[in-house]
Amino acid sequence: MLARHSLVWLSADGWQRAAQTATAGGNYQAVLQRWQRHDWPAVLRRRDADTPEDQICLGLALPPDGNGGKTRIPFRAQLADVQRMTDPLALRAALKYAPPAWSAALHAFVGACLHSGIAMRIYGSWAWQILTQQSYVRPGSDIDLLFTPGSVEELTRGLGLLAQHAGRLPLDGEIVFAEGQAVAWKECWQALQADSRQRVLVKTGDMVKLTPLAALMSTLEGA
């Protein structure tokens, strides 16, 4: 299934065609051509409402400018031009690239995840920095995580770890439920502590909606 945050590499012709769509807010064709030369991936984003069935919606982010401003470039590509697609980077594999300020606490967090059988992936500024070897991470950057639990028990265990280690690390990101329905982990944790019938903001591959947390949890084993 096509999932938000997946890493997407296009064919050479695909990059050329995609560059023609990256004109909103500026002329970014040169940026996409540079991405092609370096064989860097784009990221699958939420589908625009008017996207034809044979196209996918992608995006990439540039390193912050001198004032910390972030430029994100949305564009589209032909599905037939996708050369390969992978899941976002695994947190465990990314650990060796941890910035010094995060290193000790991040090793402790990853160790706790491994001990508990919890697998997480990363996206956002740290992932872009690893993928492109450009400078994205700043002192105020978050660690954007994706956690896809397979059961209610695993969800509870993973959220507990996130809450426990968030005091030492800028942990952000999403819990991904069935069919790619994603909820910010902090919002999910708060709702779980208060009342699982509480509605949370859900992002899917093509829309944003409000759904009771209990309805999302009902899609997991052990519900």
CA gap 62, 70 in Å, rounded: 7
CA gap 218, 18 in Å, rounded: 39
CA gap 183, 180 in Å, rounded: 10
**144 an active-site residue?**
yes
CA gap 40, 87 in Å, rounded: 14
Give the DSSP H/E element, type plus range, for residue 122. strand 120-123
CA gap 155, 1 in Å, rounded: 21
Contact 77, 55 (CB under 8 A): yes
Strands 89-90 and 72-78: unpaired
Choosing from 13, 50, 81, 142, the catalytic residue is 142
CA gap 113, 91 in Å, rounded: 10
3-state SS class at 13: helix
CA gap 127, 33 in Å, rounded: 20
Choosing from 144, 172, 195, 206, the catalytic residue is 144
Nearby residues of 221 by Cβ (< 8 Å), 6 or more positions away: 150, 151, 152
Please list the active-site residues. 142, 144
